[in-house]
Amino acid sequence: MAQDSTGIPLRQLAERCGVEFAGDGDVVIERVAPLDAAGRGAIAFLSGPRYRGHLSSTRASAVIVMPGDAAATTLPRLITTNPYAAYARVAALLHPSPAAVPGVHPSAVVAASARVAPSATIGPRAVIGERTAIGEKAQIGAGVVIAEDCDIGQDCVLHPNVVVYAHSSIGARSIVHGGAVIGADGFGMAEHEGRWIKVPQLGHTVIGVDVEIGANTTIDRGAIGDTVIEDDVKLDNQIQIGHNCRIGAHTAIAGCAGIAGSTIIGRNCKIGGAAMIAGHLDIADGTVIAAATALADSTKTAGIYTGAFPALPQREWMRLMASLRRLHSLFERVRALERATKQGES
């Protein structure tokens, strides 16, 4: 949990975030807050026209604005083309996470062959399996279970009750939130004479550096090859990623999305919440998939793909569905008329 800030002068925030400032650079900023709720000592940000009306009434000590909005306020301000990104950096500076205390809690169970860096933190009732390596300054929370032959990189943070199955690796500075399961068996079943035969899942799970994995998200291990989450991927809560998937670097996926096995998602993609992506697809770099979209085919070019039907009042929806049910018969009638017309012309 972030600790309270002692305050930083605005000019120092500008220097450390690499942005311009205007107005009183000596005003001390202690915290971040929304425009409409900020008070003395707080800095707020304006990222779009929807909230511009709050700019004139905010009680913040300073604001973060785009160049086009810099003249709309006399408050001390940071000026940047990306206020939200600047806000993120400022918030991290003002509200740093407390330093972890290195060491292994007495109730933790650490295998004799495990390698735990001296600067790492192992929380209460955590379990570290045989031949698993925990990197420098890694933080392993309470109740975390890491099986054998895993590699947890330096500065990783695994929050309470994360489970990491055998033969999984997590790169440096990655964050895994509570309840996530990394490397469980994929859904591999072969049907034979009306029954299911489990297919052994023999691959690994490879998580890159600077990845964030949300609470209760599940990432299956590979069936034969590996499941790979590349660098700087951001996964929201309650996402399911099937076996042998590859998620390209810098891709972000919102909550409750489901990705079936052996799908390859490119770099810099954005996938909305509750999107459902079928297996064995290739998703092009830079693709955007809207929330609740069901994707059954590969995307060969970047673009925005939307398959969700916007909500309507129930009566309007029922009328529309009644029309859609008649659409095929109407199509057949039109096609029959076209054939008759062509025959008459000949």
Q: Active-site residue numbers? A: 243
Q: Which residues contact 242 (CB under 8 A, 6 or more apart)?
A: 186, 187, 220, 227, 259, 260, 261, 262, 263, 279
Angle formed at CA 106 by CA 113 and CA 103, multiple of 5 degrees: 70
51 close to 69: Cβ distance less than 8 angstroms: no
The label of the residue with tokens 């000949």 reads 346
Cα–Cα dist 165/148, whole Å: 8
Cα–Cα dist 157/321, whole Å: 49
Q: How far is CA 304 from the centre of its chain?
A: 18
Q: How far is CA 90 from the centre of its chain?
A: 21
Backbone angles phi, psi at 243, to 5 degrees: -65, 145
270 close to 247: Cβ distance less than 8 angstroms: no
Question: Which residue type occupies 206?
Answer: V
Q: Which residues contact 211 (CB under 8 A, 6 or more apart)?
A: 170, 171, 174, 175, 229, 231, 232, 233, 234, 235
Q: Which residues contact 326 (CB under 8 A, 6 or more apart)?
A: none
Cα–Cα dist 228/245, whole Å: 6
Of residues 163, 112, 166, the one with CA closest to residue 140: 163
The helix (run of H) or strand (run of E) holding residue 109 is: strand 109-110
The label of the residue with tokens 């999305």 reads 257
